[in-house]
Structure 1
Amino acid sequence: MKGRSCWEPRAVRSLCNSGCLSKLNQDDSGDEEPTSQTDRSEIQGTLKILVSKLDDLSTCNDLIAKHGAALQRSLSELEGLKVPVEGGEKIKAVNERATLFRITSNAMINKVPMALHYISCGREFRKACRDFLDLAETHSRRWQRALQYEREQRTHLEETIEQLAKQHNSLERAWREAPTLVSSPPSAPTTNKGSERSNKEEASDEDEDTEYFDAMEDYPAFITVTASESTQHRRSHSNLSGASGGQPSDWNQDDHMSPSCNDVSGRELQPRRQRRSHIPDKPNYSLNLWSIMKNCIGKELSKIPMPVNFNEPLSMLQRLTEDLEYHELLDKAARCDSSMEQMCLVAAFSVSSYSTTVHRTAKPFNPLLGETYELDRLEEFGYRSLCEQVSHHPPAAAHHVISQRGWTLWQEITIASKFRGKYLSIMPLGAIHLQFHSSGNHYVWRKVTSTVHNIIVGKLWIDQSGDIEIVNHRTKETCQLKFSPYSYFSRDVPRKVTGVVADSGGQAHYILSGTWDDKMESSKIIQSSRGGSGSEGKQKTVYQTLSPKLLWKKYPVPENAENMYYFSALALTLNEPEEGVGRTDSRLRPDQRLMEEGRWDEANAEKQRLEEKQRAVRRRREADASEAVDEGREYECYQPLWFHQRRDSITGETNFVYKGGYWESKERQDWTMCPDIF
């Protein structure tokens, strides 16, 4: 029979002991792991069983071949006999079936060696996979340990840097406040060669009369040098570069402000009404801010449903009114004859509005649409302030202040905010307008970006950064203010603000310096010269100035302020109950009042009720608008009660301005036109 050698057991044994199976045994013998020893024993046992089965199959094959051949010979002999036709056909059919049986048997047995080959290859592939997984797990654990080590080192480095930064700031503050530095600084050397003087000043970092400022956005880097008394006296009668352009100088050695601009160390008048000086202490409610905000990354802050636990008991309208904390700066500016001096005070006022935010990391209440807030200080300080929430999406508030002491301020502020995970950015959009009645000077500026840090972990802290450009649209004079962002590696004092006041031709007249949480000073420029190039390749301007004079100083915080949300003296009075206010005033907002009283659970429930009520009103308004469109008639959108949109003739922008009527309604105590929002 053909193919008989394929049935021999020794051929199968040779196949089992060579090729892929022998290679598999060699690989297994080199495996040192206990699990591979077990697998090798199982494989060898299985191979022995297969060999014994093959011997049985080979014996069966021999018997089948032997009996099959005998059967075919017998059938062939039967075919040679003379039998009826029907019997011959049956014998032929039996012969064909016997042949088919022999072929099938041979084919079946011949498959066994090939199957063993496939089994051995599969076993090898499985072992290779197992080895790969073991290797990957080993390296994965090693990589995880390395990653964890790097994280720990990074955390340790950050803590070390933060500690060094704090020590640096403490040493710097101690150096600045040292008694030896209180005395008058040594006079700066005088010379007729401005370039030689500037080069010497650039070369020395220890000259106490020299102060270095960052480059402004539209100005080159500059250095200020405080002139000595003899130099001031000698140059006060000379027309030097950087002087006041030929205008009569109101500046003198004792006070470089004109006599009409009085000292601002205290308030001009004491309030006639005794205002409250404290509120209930903040309860100790613990709540994880990250658990709420982790699903809100990238969303607008106004669209995040926040419990009152992260609020302070003031609305955004009241926070906007806090810009008037140092209103006396504007009273003083209104009396200035020089527009340059007036610009310095306006710049100090714009910086002072941030002084209350240094510890105020809590979120104010989002005003309801149509909510208002009035601050009537006409009898005490001569001004009246009114705010109204004129839009809900996007949230926008309009503010108008008029003072009997010669100025009017108005603004429309839209708050754009983004949560970035580690920090929260708050970008106030909109312009602030200030106009003085007697001179007609119209100033316009915008706010900088506020950033709340350590949202995920650590103590919350707030920073202000960016540039402010104040423009007097009547005279075209400008002031460039730069709020330096806080940095661990900066040599500057934290919260630093620098500025340059220039005339319409771009010539600088005053240097402003200070911090947005403490004070601002101004120094009049009496001479300027070009110095050498700085580290960044920019040419520096050296300004020689008079001694700096105080423009603004922050009031001390009230006693126990840390337990009263770090409110200032003015902020403590903003939510004080007052009779005669409009029905939509923030003082009457129930959830805010409950929070101030320390009943936070009730405040949260009330806050949800007010927000759902506002949503229901908006849905009804949308349904009315849809119905009007279907019927083909006009539908008037929501209109604020006390403000209307107008285009500003100076800036060309369209914003909400006060249209009048509120204070007249207050005198009549007629609030029937006010919507029911609470």
Structure 2
Amino acid sequence: MSEPKSPTPTPAGDTYKGWVFKWTNYIKGYQRRWFVLSNGLLSYYSIRTQAEMGHTCRGTINLATAVISVDDACNFVISNGGAQTYHLKASSEVERQRWITALELAKAKAARMQAESDDSGDDFSPSSLPVGGGQGGGSQNSEVQSTLRTLGSKVEDLSTCNDLISKHGSALQRSLSELDSLRLTGEAGDKIRQVTERATLFRITSNAMINACRDFLALAQTHSKRWQKALQAEREQRVRLEEALEQLAKQHNHLERAFRGAAQAHAIVDNKGGAGPGKGEASDEDDDNEFFDAMEDAPEFITVPADPQFHKRSSSNASGLNTDLCADDQSLNEEPLAMNQESPSQDLVPLKKRRTRIPDKPNYSLNLWSIMKNCIGKDLSKIPMPVNFNEPISMLQRLSEDLEYHELLDKAAKCHSSLEQMCYVAAFCVSAYSTTVYRTGKPFNPLLGETYELDRRRESGYRSLCEQVSHHPPAAAHHAISDRGWTLRQEITVASKFRGKYLSIMPLGTIHAIFEKSNNHYTWKKVTTTVHNIIVGKLWIDQSGEIDIVNHTTGDRCHLKFAPYSYFSRDVARKVTGVVMDKDGKAHYVLSGTWDEKMEFSRVMQSSRGGENGTEGKQKTVYQTLKARELWKRNPLPDGAESMYYFTALALTLNEPEDGVAPTDSRRRPDQRLMEDGRWDEANGEKQRLEEKQRSARREREREAASQRASGQSEEAVDEDSFVDHSMKSAPHDSYKALWFESCEDQFTGEQVHIYKGGYWETKELGNWEGCPDIF
């Protein structure tokens, strides 16, 4: 009976084999098994001959997540968290240490490969670059990447061997010190043998490190010049590829424009029995009356100008279909009515003059990557960021900026048609993103209990209140009410992830708009914001995703699509498209525009299903529409906005000091005020003080909650029938309750939200803020 011979490879090798005794049970004790270490996996076999290897594997353990520990001179244990545990014993301490060295090296390499595999979906790697120019460029790139991976592996081996040498060297030094302190007695022989064994272990590990260094140097010398040539070729190839892509994009755009006119005419002929627009309507000059999704985004519909007969019927008001529309159009073109007759006249009470400038942003140089490189994959709200990356307003003030174009809700409140009202609500939803196009600064994270009021009742008929109602996760509740017949409320929790190349910000929560006259109740959610070029280049922001606006009173819906930026798309950047439908799914309006400039809407006269186009054989719907009308247009930025954080006229006034506001108002936040004044070093120190004060307050609440729970449990033990608050058992450690908002379940969405309970504006009139916490 032949047995496999145990080789003695270098511990730094990828494969290690040999006989080891494994504990089986209390009856059989340790049994000899054949162990094979390969590719980060340790397997063992119960074999008598080499031929039995293929079908006698008894178990395998992954070293990437395993823990390796040593019991005594010859025993060691390998465990991966309790699911698998191997108790092993080597024939000698030297043999045990050979296994330990091989296992540690294999574990380090397996963990490194697993980390690279996890990051491959998000992180940029040179191997993901497109390579052109035939097989030569691809083979060079592949060779470079293979060499880099090999060298990286060798560097990691060097690091692991260095740690092991340090460990064994310390043990050897201790043994030698003990030997020096001994007298020549009977123990001298044992100690000498121990020193000899440890010296042998040290020599084995040193040899492994020397071999790894030799391999590293050999590879570096062999490939040094080839790297330079290969990388230079890649740079040249990339330049040629970019030039070719730019030329192709221009040609593609020209061909698409030529095809567009033919497709438009064909669609109208199919739907109208041969009737179609004239030559002028099919030209590129009429692009304002139609819009197309990018080819790679599988366009869902196309709009074309309606048949001239629809225009005639619309202009003469002969069609009952357009009667309501024209009535609404006439009313919406008028000036907004003064709906609050009880408020003081603006002619008698002069309005407060708001500021139009703030101190210019100081020119501080700071490397964002140096701070965020260790925060990849973490929630942005948990990353300690200096004020250098902030803008001098808080997230509560940023949330109040959603009211920048409140006049859209004023117009919506006056609409007689719920479908046209939906168009204005959709425009308001899109307009909230127009202030973000150049705003790459991060708002201040509000402190728990921080508030912000925006009282524009005299100027614009509305007033708004925000409060930070939760810290983990960070959540802000917002309530705005207008004398012109609408209410807006929302609770937003921001989830964010830093992915290395870009930062994704996902607002969670639902926005509600309620109109008093019609009792229409609308809800929608926000799309994802992405900040690009975190590492290299100029920061820029994109909005992408889909929004469904629902009228819970009538069942009407509006589906908005924010197209992500694409280098290869022929469409304008930041494009938004949408369709307004009734409860039966019939389309009435088509929306188009960009989230940073303007939105338009067109009345749908007729729709039809086109042929199979786009990806996956989907059919596009062709909408014949009246001439597009402007819904919303962005206000121009103030002069010098580039030196004032690109703030809008409204944003410049948000942090303006104001008398009578609550002591928890964001205007009173000292670090934010210092930053606005350009004193950033002082602002950073003040920011740390406020955050530590917030943490101390939370620890105090947790202690009080724990004390109350303990007291409640004690009373319950004495008298089970006593009126004890049993909910304390499951209450969170932090028992904080918002001051101006109360938690309840939303009847429309079923979410647990905070809704304004009243009292703030009455308290402001009295000037009694005793109930407000001291957070600043």
The reply to whether TM is greater than 0.5 is yes
Q: Counterpart of 1:507?
A: 586
Give 1:624 shift: 2.0
Q: Which amino acid aligns with 1:251?
A: L
CA-atom RMSD in angstroms: 3.8
Of residues 562, 586, 591, the one that matches 2:666 is 586
Provide the residue aligned with 2:451 in structure 1. Answer: 372
From 659, 662, 666, give the equivalent of 2:760: 662
Partners of 1:130 and 1:309 in 2: how far apart? 44
SS in structure 2 opposite 1:559? coil
CA contact (8 A) 1:280 1:596 kept: yes
Determine which of 297, 306, 325 is the counterpart of 1:251. 325
- State how far apart, in whole Å, the 2-side matches of 1:165 and 1:607 are: 51
What's the offset of the Cα at 1:187?
A: 11
In structure 2, which of residues 449, 460, 468 is the aligned counterpart of residue 389 of structure 1? 468
2:695 maps to amino acid: R
Name the structure 2 match of 1:644.
Answer: 742
Contact 1:165-1:488 within 8 A present in 2 as well: no
Note closer, same or farther for the CA distance 1:266–1:632 as it changes in structure 2 (3 Å cut).
closer
Question: Equivalent of 2:621, from 533, 537, 541?
Answer: 541
Q: Percent identity at matched positions? A: 61
1:605 aligned counterpart, secondary structure: helix
Q: For residues 278 and 612 of structure 2, what CA distance do their matches in structure 1 show?
A: 13
- CA shift in 2, pair 1:199/1:376, >3 Å: closer
Alignment of 1:549-560 (within 5 A): 549-560=629-640
Among residues 439, 453, 458, which one is paired with 2:518 in the alignment? 439
Aligned letter for 2:332? Answer: C
Name the counterpart of 2:693.
Answer: 613
Rounded to whole Å, the distance in 2 between the matches of 1:433 and 1:161 is: 49
1:144 maps onto 2:227 in alignment: yes
5+ residue gaps in structure 2? 1-210, 258-263, 340-345, 714-724
Alpha-carbon distance between aligned partners in 2 of 1:447 and 1:130, rounded to the nearest angstrom: 55
* 1:665–1:569 distance in 2 versus 1, CA, 3 Å: same
| Cα gap change, 1:586 to 1:366, in 2 (>3 Å) | same
- Unpaired stretches in structure 1, ≥5 consecutive residues: 1-127, 176-185
Give the C-alpha shift of residue 504 in structure 1.
0.3
Q: Which amino acid aligns with 2:324?
A: D
**Cα deviation 1:155-195 (Å, max 9, x = unaligned):** 647875898799999x99xx9xxxxxxxxxx9999768537
Distance in 2 (CA, whole Å) between partners of 1:659 and 1:136 is: 71
Q: Bigger CA drift: 534-543 or 502-511?
A: 534-543
Partner of 2:378: 299
How far the C-alpha of 1:349 sits from its partner, in A, is 0.2
- Asked if structure 1 preserves the Cα contact closer than 8 Å seen for 2:559 and 2:580, the reply is yes
Equivalent residue letter for 2:330 = P
Q: Is the 8 A contact 1:334 1:436 kept in 2?
A: yes
Instruction: Point out which structure has higher relative CO (alpha carbons under 8 A, 6+ apart).
Output: 1
Aligned residues: 529
Question: Structure 1 residues 164 and 671 mapped into 2: Cα distance closer, same or farther (>3 Å)?
Answer: farther
Give the alignment's TM-score, normalised by structure 1. 0.71
| Residue of structure 1 in register with 2:109 after alignment | none
Normalising by structure 2, we get a TM-score of 0.63
Moved more, 645-654 or 300-309: 645-654
> After superposition, what is the alpha-carbon deviation per residue over 1:450-509, rounded to whole angstroms, capped at 9, x for unaligned?
000000011000000000100000101000000001111110100000000000000101
Distance 2:232 2:212 in 1: 30
Structure 1 148/195 Cα, relative in aligned 2: closer, same or farther at 3 Å? Answer: farther
Taking a change above 3 Å as real, the CA distance of residues 259 and 459 of structure 1, as seen in their structure-2 partners, is: same
Superposed displacement of residue 563, structure 1: 0.3
Determine the structure 2 residue equivalent to 1:260: 331
Per the alignment, do residues 649 and 133 of structure 1 end up closer, same or farther by CA in structure 2, a change over 3 Å counting? closer
Q: Does 1:422 align with 2:422?
A: no
**Where do 1:312-327 residues align within 5 Å?**
312-327=391-406
Pick one of 364, 382, 387 that aligns with 1:308: 387
Query: 1:379 deviation in Å?
Result: 1.1
Q: Does 1:468 align with 2:547?
A: yes
SS of the aligned residue for 2:401 comes to helix
2-structure distance, mates of 1:491, 1:225: 18
> What SS is found at the alignment partner of 1:380?
helix
Instruction: Give CA deviations for 1:553-601 in whole Å, capped at 9, x if unaligned.
Output: 0001000000000000000000000000001000000000000011111
Aligned to 1:71: none
Q: Is the 8 A contact 2:744 2:755 kept in 1?
A: yes
The alpha-carbon deviation at position 236 of structure 1 amounts to 7.1
Q: Which moved more, 1:625-634 or 1:132-141?
A: 132-141
- Aligned-pair CA distance for 1:650: 2.0
**Structure 1 CA distance, aligned partners of 2:403 and 2:468?**
18
Greater displacement, 288-297 / 530-539: 530-539
Shift of 1:250: 2.6
1:621 aligned partner, one-letter code: R
For residues 257 and 225 of structure 1, do their structure 2 counterparts lie closer, same or farther at Cα, with a shift above 3 Å needed?
farther
Distance change in 2, residues 1:218/1:413 (3 Å): farther
* Pairing 1:279-358 to 2, within 5 Å after superposition: 279-358=358-437
Larger Rg: 1
What is the alpha-carbon distance in structure 1 between the residues aligned to residue 434 and residue 412 of structure 2? 19
1:645 is displaced (CA, Å) by 0.9
Answer whether contact 1:448 1:468 (CA < 8 A) is retained: yes
